[in-house]
Amino acid sequence: MRATDLDLKELLQVDPAGGILRFGHERVLLLDAVALGLLRRELIEMLGMTGARAMLTRFGYAHGWRTAENLRTAFPWDSEDEWRHAGGRLHTLQGLVRVGAPEDGQRSGTLPIGNSIWEDSYEAEQHLLHFGPADETVCWTLTGFASGYLSRAHGREIYCVEERCRGKGDAVCRLVGRPVEEWGETITPHLAFYHQKCLDAALSHVTDELKRVERRLDARRRELAAAETGPAAAGSSLHVESPAMMRILDLARRVAQVDSTVLLTGESGVGKERVARFIHDQSARTAGPFIAVNCGAVPESLLESELFGHTRGAFTGATQDRVGLFEAANGGTLLLDEIGEVPPSVQVKLLRVLQEREIRRVGENRSRPVNVRVLAATNRDLVAEIRGARFRQDLYYRLRVVEITVPPLRERREDILPLARAFLAAAATRTGRTVTGLTPAAAHQLLRYGWPGNVRELENAVERAVVLAQGSRVDVDDLPQDIGLATPSPAGVGDIRPLAEVERDYITSVVRAVGGNRAQAAAKLGIGTATLYRKLKEYGT
């Protein structure tokens, strides 16, 4: 067997019922790349660049050594060289990095044992995402893996050095590996990252920091546990494929790095709260609370108390002091959803809070400082509300430091199926159903529908379909009737469809609408029954 014969479908063993995954006969885990990026950020903040690099390099080395050991006997290799080259192929199949040969061929001097070009390195991608361009190479785990794998495969110490890295602005990453004696003195600065003493030196200064991080992680775990028990947990992740939403998330990611107030606008149900949570999670306040309040759902008489709190005796029924949401969100983010519903009397107080960064509880005569990132969301046209004297212009400009308009689902159709599949998986888990996916017909119908209720409507429709599904996949008949019988929505300028395709979709939807009665369908279409039969035969239905 050759290294190039390794095939992902054969290496990856998946139990349909879930549970243990195996890759090359060894148990593996599926880990989100962004989660690994957040781990890297925590390590760098906790240990510094040197300590984090030492820890990730040592981890990669141990992983590479063990992988080489396992692969040696797992497959009938044609030669020892094929086994030695399998590490790079494995990394490519696992989606960690795409390994290729350098264009310049053999280098001058001794031919390196390791000599590769890396493209799409997940480590470089995540470092750029969380820190921006670096001054040094950043693919520490991957470099450690290559060193460990080659050392085991060649039976002697091989150390790899990343000479170029996309994380510091290069077009691609480039790795060179040589035995320690061939490197000479040039390898000395890199060897420190493979030894415990480098890590010990970093750890000796971070005891207090570790305790602080542990407290932050505990708080985050409690928030996640609370979220998982509520209905909002399902589909809380952002599943984005459309260029429009990618631009929105790119803007949100940049805005997250500062504490400016953000106004999220868009139709009801487009996912404004999910974008707000994304901003919070990408910000330095991610360890703090994220609190969302629907201002339109709170009675006007109670909204001020809900936001700012009150003291005992401030009004009838105020039997004890109460902390408001601004204070509860201290150190984190407060989302004021449906900000257009806030009455003028409270708008004045909100403006003062945003300007002075302090609140005053109802019935209290002293101010309290608050450290809160404020986000606001609305589906109203606030400019029209200003013209109608229903919304303060000064508050509007104070909220709209940055405005992010989330497009409706009908304008980002590439997101429909990824979102539907995510909602399906969440609903199946929540309801205990063994529904695993969509039939092609159901997926096609979801794409045809116009989604006036946006993402919220899609989530509810998918949950209903999961509950009603009789098989292992959601079919058209499981969808709500208005979705199952939907005809194609008008195409946009950049999405013009061939006339024959539109005709096919329309005819098949009419046939479905009349329960498969072809004579009735032909009458409604104004064509002969023979013509309808001929067209349906052409369509393969």
DSSP E strand stretches across 297-384: 309-310, 322-323, 333-337, 358-359, 368-369, 373-378
169 with 288, same domain: the answer is: no
Is 101 among the domain residues? yes
Residue 516, token pair as written in the block: 């498969």
**Cα separation, 93 vs 527, whole angstroms:** 53
Give me the half-sphere count of Cα atoms (radius 13 Å) on the Cβ side of residue 237. 14
Strands, E assignment, 85-224: 98-100, 114-119, 158-164, 173-179
The pair phi, psi for residue 253, each rounded to 5°, is -65, -40
- Distance from C-alpha of 293 to C-alpha of 290, rounded to nearest angstrom: 10
Q: Confirm whether 23 is domain-assigned.
A: no
pLDDT at 499: 77
Q: How far apart are the first and last CA of the chain?
A: 45
**Residue where a domain terminates, one of 343, 376, 407:** 407
Residue 478 sits in the same domain as residue 376:
no
pLDDT score recorded for residue 312: 81
Separation of alpha carbons 307 and 295, rounded Å: 9
Q: What is the pLDDT, as a whole number, of residue 489?
A: 54
Same domain, 393 and 285: yes
Helices (H) and strands (E) counted in the chain, each on its own, are 23, 18
> How much is the pLDDT for 391?
93
Of the candidates 203, 225, 254, which is a domain's last residue?
203
| CA dihedral (429, 434, 435, 437) positive or negative | positive
Same structural domain for residues 373 and 431?
Answer: no
pLDDT digits (tens, 9 = 90+) for 263-299: 999 999 999 999 999 999 999 999 899 999 999 888 8
Give me the number of domains the chain comprises: 3
126 phi and psi angles, rounded to 5 deg: -70, -35
Contact status, residue 463 vs residue 425, Cβ threshold 8 Å: no
| Within a domain: 224 | no
Residues of the chain with pLDDT under 70: 1, 18, 103-111, 196-237, 486-497, 541
Residues 389 and 344 grouped into a single domain: yes
**Residue 457: C-alpha distances to residues 11, 486, 489 (Å):** 39, 14, 16
| Signed CA dihedral, 486, 491, 497, 503: sign only | positive
Residue 401 and residue 422 in one domain: no
CA distances (Å), 367 to each of 230, 327, 349, 353, 412, in order? Answer: 34, 12, 12, 10, 45
Q: Are residues 387 and 440 in the same domain?
A: no
Residue 371 and residue 420 in one domain: no
CATH number of residue 86's parent domain: 3.30.1380
Phi, psi of 338 (to 5 degrees): 55, 50
What integer pLDDT is reported at residue 492 of this predicted model?
47
Structure tokens at 342: 């806030």
| Per-residue pLDDT, 497 | 64
Residue 52, CB half-sphere, CA atoms under 13 Å: how many?
18
Count Cβ neighbours within 10 Å for each residue of 350-387 and write b for 16 or more, e otherwise. Answer: bbebbeeeebbbbeeeeebebebbbbbbbbbebeebbe
Q: 497 in a domain, yes or no? A: yes
Lookup: tokens for 41: 């950020």
DSSP string, 478-508: GS-HHHHTPPPPPP-TT----HHHHHHHHHH
- SS3 state at 404: strand
Determine the angle formed by the axes of helices 140-154 and 33-74, rounding to 10 degrees. Answer: 10
Q: What is the pLDDT of residue 106?
A: 44
Shared domain for 340 and 450, answered yes or no, is no
pLDDT at 416: 92
State residue 320's pLDDT score: 82
CATH number at residue 520: 1.10.8.60
Q: Same domain, yes or no, for 166 and 271?
A: no
Its pTM stands at 0.50
- Residues 370, 327 contacting (CB under 8 angstroms): yes
Sheet holding 12-14, edge to edge: 12-14, 21-23, 26-28
Q: Is residue 11 part of a domain?
A: no
Are the CB atoms for 454 and 408 separated by under 8 Å?
yes
CATH at 270: 3.40.50.300
Flag whether 91 is in a domain. Answer: yes
Domain assignment present for residue 215? The answer is no
Handedness of CA 172, 177, 183, 188 (dihedral sign): positive
The confidence score (pLDDT) of residue 231 equals 34
Which of 387, 407, 427 terminates a domain? The answer is 407
In the prediction, which pLDDT does 196 show?
65
In a domain, 7, yes or no: no
In the chain, helix, strand, coil percent, each to 5? 55, 15, 35
Q: What are phi and psi of 404, to 5 degrees?
A: -120, 115
In degrees, rounded to 5, the angle at the alpha carbon of residue 436 between the alpha carbons of residues 12 and 426 is 105
pLDDT of residue 224: 52
According to the model, what pLDDT value does residue 186 have?
86
Following DSSP, what letter does each residue of 335-350 receive, concatenated?
EEETGGG--HHHHHHH
251 and 400 share one domain: yes
Q: Which residues form the domain of 347?
A: 236-407
* 48 burial type by CB count under 10 A (0-12 exposed, 13-18 middle, 19+ buried): middle
Tens-digit pLDDT profile for residues 297-315? 888 878 888 898 888 877 7
**448 and 400 within one domain:** no
- Give me the pLDDT at residue 237, please: 55
